[in-house]
Amino acid sequence: MNKKTIWITGGSTGIGKALAIKFASMGWNVAISARREGLLKEISENNKNIFSYPLDVTDKSKCLEVFNEIQKKFENVEICFFSTGTWNPKKEKDIDVEQIEEVFKVNFFGTLNCIKAVEKYFKEKKGGIITIVSSIAGYRGLPNSTGYGPSKSALNNLAESLFFDFKRSNVRVSLVSPGFIKTPMTDKNDFKMPFLKTTDYAAEKIYDGLINKNNFEIHFPKSLTIILKILSFLPSKIYFSLVGKMTKHQKKN
């Protein structure tokens, strides 16, 4: 096949689904993975360029198996976009060790399993893009975020570390840090989300960042992310004071 191919995890809903439809509309072959087979099947049936590959990213051997199937079908894979994530705000407000372990198992180790599955392929190919989806929650510590924020912070560090490792093989590692995007996951939030954007908006920004630009980090919307980046450089005393004031009216239940 002459079409370019992208593999997207977390492709059944939210940003992953919107990005899959965007790339498919631009003529790419799109392999989508997620645990919910029914949703994947529905998306692939409604889009001729999208193909379903069900996967639980916490299954290390299955990640490699699925990627091998995708590579066998499409031969060349140009981009891997790893966006699997989980979030349960009600359990984030206390130190729920089991919940935190589950969040890291999906968000961090699930992403790592997928990267490991494609490592040999991309290093031998000496080209392509591996994309890790993080969050603005990974910039610095936030209230009521005992698992999600730390898991995303770990992904930020991982992406920077892998940037050096893969660059030697001419493989680009990119990091995506979305602000608040209206998805089934953010619908769980019990506070007003500033600068809330649609998944189509996110897909446009990510597509542009991956195809037309060469920056390490793709972050949006800038009206929010730039403010948070400035906050991340502040001394801790000032940061804690400002964020405390900004979040003191959030619901406690």
User: Which of 178, 185, 172 lies closest to 103, judged by CA?
Assistant: 185
Contact 110, 158 (CB under 8 A): no
Token pair for residue 191?
């506070």
Residues of the chain with pLDDT under 70: 1-2, 248-253
Q: Rg of the chain over CA atoms, in angstroms? A: 18
Give the pLDDT of residue 1: 47
Please name the amino acid found at residue 111: T
User: Which of 127, 114, 129 lies closest to 23, judged by CA?
Assistant: 129
User: Which of 5, 10, 55 lies closest to 31, judged by CA?
Assistant: 5
Give the pLDDT of residue 2: 67
Token pair for residue 145?
């975020």
207-232 exposure pattern, b = at least 16 Cβ within 10 A, e = fewer: bebbeeeeeeebbbbeebbeebbeee
How many CA within 13 A on the CB side of residue 105? 9
How many CA within 13 A on the CB side of residue 188? 9
Which residues, listed in sequence order, are joined to residue 32 by a DSSP beta bridge? 8, 52
Give the pLDDT of residue 89: 77
Distance, CA of 105 to CA of 114 (rounded, Å): 12
Virtual CA dihedral for 102, 106, 108, 112, nearest 10 degrees?
140
Contact 147, 104 (CB under 8 A): yes
Give the pLDDT of residue 253: 35
CATH numbers and ranges of domains, the chain: 5-247 (3.40.50.720)
Contact 62, 112 (CB under 8 A): no
Beta-sheet pairing, 217-220 with 79-82: unpaired
Distance, CA of 131 to CA of 55 (rounded, Å): 18
User: Which of 21, 24, 27 lies closest to 2, judged by CA?
Assistant: 27
* 221-238 tens-digit pLDDT: 999 999 999 999 999 999
